[in-house]
Amino acid sequence: MALTGLEIYKHLPKTNCKDCGFPTCLAFAMKMATKQVALDKCPHVTPQAKAALESAARPPIQLVAIGTGDAEIKIGNETQLYRHEEKFHRPTAIAIRVSDTLDEDALAARAEAVGKLGFERVGVRIGVNLVAVDNQSGDPGRFAQAAKRAAETSGLACVLISNRPESLQQAASALAGKRPLLYIADPARSEAAARVAKDEDCPLAVRADGVDALAELTPRIASLGLEQLVLDPGTRSVKATLDALTRIRRLALRNFRPLGYPTIAFTADADPTMQAVEASAYVAKYAGVVVTDAAEPWQLLPVLTTRQDIYTDPQKPSAVEPKLYAVGDVSPGSPVLVTTNFSLSYYSVEGEVEASRVPSYVIAVDTEGTSVLTAWASDKFNAETITKALKKSGVEEKVSHRKLVIPGFVAVLSAGVEDESGWAVQIGPKEAAGLPSYLKKQWRAGA
């Protein structure tokens, strides 16, 4: 948590020596509180005071890095219980489970498929982050081979799941330098697994039977010199897991250090649909990593969509650049459509235009990232703003006609737009889903 100037001042020498370049220790503390100066500018601060300040200034939830390079995923460092108070910063990592009991070809095929799972939504690529290799065989050698094969074929960072520290040791060695997340399923062997994680320079996920047991376990792990921890409260029902994840987040934000780490949750329902529901619930309620068997696109799309929505800034509308967009191989006879620059509105229109296979121009009007009806109600999407965007876009030099398609929900604007712009206005469908039919039939009829 951020320290105030007075809290920092309590740890300073209070000699007002001016060696730091400030007239008093209090002035230095105030500058340090606003991050305008670093502690090392004070040459007389004691090691004890330095350690105390660094500990106190640590974020309430430890930052944990899994993987390296392009595959690196960071979780933790969250500062809020409620998203509307600021925002959530580090999106939940989604891990798909792969069993080491699969034969080599089947394992490689599943891992490769996991690595390719992804979608484009409102202009952003969303996908799976981790492959979770489960040591269901109990064989350390087979586990190590499976981990190496899964990492190679998926291109993702790994979660290594086992109840045996020796299996984790062998698999982590097979992925030397790649920093997989080691998950020890047996709470009694957590300290042995911690030594493995420290030796292999890997983060460690520990499990205990409940939040209270976790709070007793983590100081023992930390005393071994391992701070890169992820917590599993051991619950598997949805209600118990959500209760535990919420309790851990609340206590961590109150600066209760034993629980100041990101969390991991596992989906457990055998029903494929409920797997997706569970995963989405854990994403919404504070899990840093969600491990699931749901590997079908129809299962993952709602989970990834939930994550994308939860981890956007609620105080900043999602918007595209207000300008002219060409969708498809446009020509002088292509339709010209207008919408707002709210991301969901624009990409809904773009997607339906692509689906229609009728190349079109789309003008995104600057409405400060608000939707069509919201912008119309706040007078940001009106005849004047549409005409201004039309003229600024340069589309008049690109098409041979003067026909503009506006959303059906704002048909009331048609006369005003015609008067302001000199273009003929055609009323499009109310919903973007109606665009393919409109462009194929009505647009051509009115051209």
Cβ–Cβ < 8 Å for 352, 407: no
Calpha distance 81→252 (Å, rounded): 10
How many CB atoms sit inside 10 A of residue 317's CB?
A: 17
Q: Quick one: pLDDT at residue 243?
A: 98
Query: Is CATH 1.10.3720.10 the classification given to domain 324-446?
Result: no
In terms of C-beta density within 10 A (0-12 exposed, 13-18 middle, 19 or more buried), how is residue 104 classed? exposed
pTM across the whole model: 0.80
Residues 6+ apart with CB under 8 A from 237: 268
Calpha distance 413→400 (Å, rounded): 23
Q: Quick one: pLDDT at residue 1?
A: 52
Q: Quick one: pLDDT at residue 317?
A: 81
Q: CA nearest 361: which of 391, 404, 318?
A: 404
Helices (H), 208-294: 211-222, 238-253, 272-284
Q: Quick one: pLDDT at residue 255?
A: 85
Q: Quick one: pLDDT at residue 148?
A: 97
Residue 268's Cα: distance from chain center in Å? Answer: 23
What 420-424 contacts at long range (C-beta under 8 Å, 24+ apart), as own/partner pairs, is 420/383, 420/384, 420/386, 420/387, 421/383, 421/386, 421/387, 421/390, 421/391, 423/390
How many CB atoms sit inside 10 A of residue 340's CB?
A: 33
How many CB atoms sit inside 10 A of residue 15's CB?
A: 11
Length of the chain: 447
5-57 and 324-446 in the same fold: no
Per-position pLDDT tens, the chain of length 447: 567 888 888 889 999 999 999 999 999 988 888 777 888 889 999 888 887 777 666 778 999 999 999 999 999 999 899 988 888 999 999 999 999 999 999 999 999 999 999 998 888 899 999 999 999 999 999 999 999 999 999 999 999 999 999 999 999 999 999 999 999 999 999 999 999 999 999 999 999 999 999 999 999 999 999 999 999 999 999 999 999 999 999 999 998 999 999 999 999 999 999 999 999 999 999 999 999 999 999 999 999 999 999 998 888 888 999 999 999 999 999 999 999 999 999 999 999 999 999 999 999 999 999 999 999 999 999 999 999 999 999 999 999 999 999 999 999 999 999 999 999 999 999 999 999 999 998 886 454
Q: Quick one: pLDDT at residue 56?
A: 64
Which pair of tokens denotes residue 149? 């094969």
Which CATH code for domain 5-57? 1.10.15.40
* 3-class state of residue 162 by DSSP: strand
DSSP structure string for 285-311 = TT-SEEEES--SHHHHHHHHHHHHHHT
Query: Is CATH 3.40.350.10 the classification given to domain 64-310?
Result: no
Residue spans per domain, the chain: 5-57, 64-310, 324-446
Calpha distance 172→183 (Å, rounded): 11
Helix axes 383-393, 414-421, angle to 10 degrees: 40
Cβ–Cβ < 8 Å for 311, 87: yes
Calpha distance 179→130 (Å, rounded): 12
Longest CA span, the chain: 85
Residues 6+ apart with CB under 8 A from 374: 342, 367
Q: What single letter denotes the amino acid at residue 58?
A: R
Calpha distance 72→130 (Å, rounded): 9
Calpha distance 173→400 (Å, rounded): 66
